[in-house]
Amino acid sequence: MIIRRAALAAALPAVAMDDTRYHLAAVQCSPGLVESTNGHLAIRMRDRAPFPAEDFPLGESPDVEGYDGTVLIPADVVATTIKALPAKIGMPILSTAFVGRQTMNGQHVTITTTDLQSRQTSVLKEDENARFPDLARVVPAFDTDPTIDRVTVCLSRAVLETLLKAMKASDQPKGDPTVTFTLPLPSPTTPDGHDRIVDSALTAKWTGNELDGWAVLMPCRVR
C-alpha cells in the first residue's frame, strides 16, 4: 500500500490530541483511503489513482513486502513522515510512503519513506480490534442517496481563508469560537424539474468580546 504525502497532510489536522483516546490520535489507512477524526470533525481522503505497491523503490533486496490491511499511524509518526517527504519533486513516487510487512524481525507492519539514498522506517499498529470509528456510520444519508433533498454550498478556499483571517483578527472570546452561516433555501424544484439551483451570497456572523463580525461570502453556488 502506497500513501501520498498530500493525503497524510490533509488528514493530520483532524486527529485527536486527547491521550485517553489514543486510537483517535492517529490516522487510519487502508488501500486507497486515509481517514482521521477527533470526534467533532471527520476527514476522508480517497486516492483516485493509487500507485501499485511494486512502484515504490525499496531497493534490490527489500526486507519488506506489500501490505493491504488497515493500519493506524500515530500522529507523531504521520508528522515525521510528512516532514521526510518533499512537497514538490520531479518523481511523484518519492513523495509517497510505503506501508508493508517486514519479512523478518517479527513481521511487523511498517511505514517507509526514501530519497533513493536512504530509508526511514517506523513500526505501525494493525487495527485488529477495529478501535478506530467506522466513518461510514456517521456519513449523512443524503451524501450517498441522491433522492434525498439537499442544499450544497460551493465556496473557494481563498474565500474561506479570508473569513478565518478576519475571525482571528477580531477579539475572539476564549475557547472555541463559532461562525454561523445563513443562506436562502432554494425553491422546491427548478423550472425544468431538475436539481435545485440558487445563486446567492452566503452571510456569516460571529461574536467576539467587544466586536460582532458579519461577512458576505461571494461567489456562492447552491444546488
Could you report the per-residue pLDDT of 51-84, keeping only the tens digit for each?
999 999 988 767 888 899 889 999 999 999 999 9
Same-domain check for residues 77 and 10: yes
pLDDT value at 220 more than 80: no
C-alpha cell at 179: 461562525
Task: Please name the residue that has the C-alpha cell 456572523.
Answer: 205
191, 145: one domain: yes
* DSSP sequence for 43-82: EEEE-SSPPPGGGS---SS-SEEE--S-EEEEHHHHHHHH
* 71 and 147 within one domain: no
- Candidate from 35-49, 185-199, 200-214 with smallest mean pLDDT: 185-199
Report which of 110, 36, 42, 111 is spatially closest to residue 75, judged by C-alpha positions: 36
User: Is the domain of 101 the same as that of 189?
Assistant: no
Range of the domain at 191: 141-222
- Per residue in 101-113, pLDDT tens? 988 777 789 999 9
In this structure, the answer to whether residues 192 and 178 fall within a common structural domain is yes
Which amino acid belongs to residue 145? D
Q: Are residues 77 and 109 in the same domain?
A: yes
Identify the pLDDT of residue 141. Answer: 74
Domain stop point among 93, 115, 137: 137
- Looking at the fold, whether 21 and 116 belong to one and the same domain comes out as yes
Say yes or no: 123 and 152 in one domain.
Answer: no
**Cβ neighbours for 44, distance < 8 A, ≥ 6 positions apart:** 33, 34, 35, 135
Last residue of a domain, one of 137, 161, 195: 137
| Cα–Cα distance measured from residue 117 to residue 126, given in angstroms and rounded to the nearest whole number | 28
Q: Are 129 and 148 in a shared domain? A: no
Of 74, 104, 137, the position where a domain reaches its end is 137
Q: Are residues 116 and 18 in the same domain?
A: yes
Indicate whether 96 pLDDT > 80. yes
Percent of the chain with pLDDT over 70: 77
- DSSP H or E run through 7: helix 5-11
Kindly tell me if the per-residue pLDDT of 195 is higher than 80.
no
Report CA 199 to chain centroid distance, whole Å.
Answer: 28
19-33, 108-122, 182-196: range with lowest mean pLDDT: 182-196
Of the candidates 186, 67, 63, 53, the one whose C-alpha atom is nearest the C-alpha of residue 124 is: 67
User: Does one domain contain both 213 and 147?
Assistant: yes
Residue 117 and residue 132 share a domain: yes
Q: Any idea what the CATH number is for the domain that residue 27 is in?
A: 3.10.150.10
Judge whether residue 27 has pLDDT over 90.
Answer: yes
pLDDT (0 to 100) of residue 199: 54
How many domains does the chain fold into?
2
Which pLDDT score, from 0 to 100, does residue 135 have? 79
What is the pLDDT averaged over residues 84-106? 87
Given a cut of 60, whether residue 191 has pLDDT beyond it is no
Q: How confident is the model at residue 130 (pLDDT cuts 50, 70, 90)?
A: low
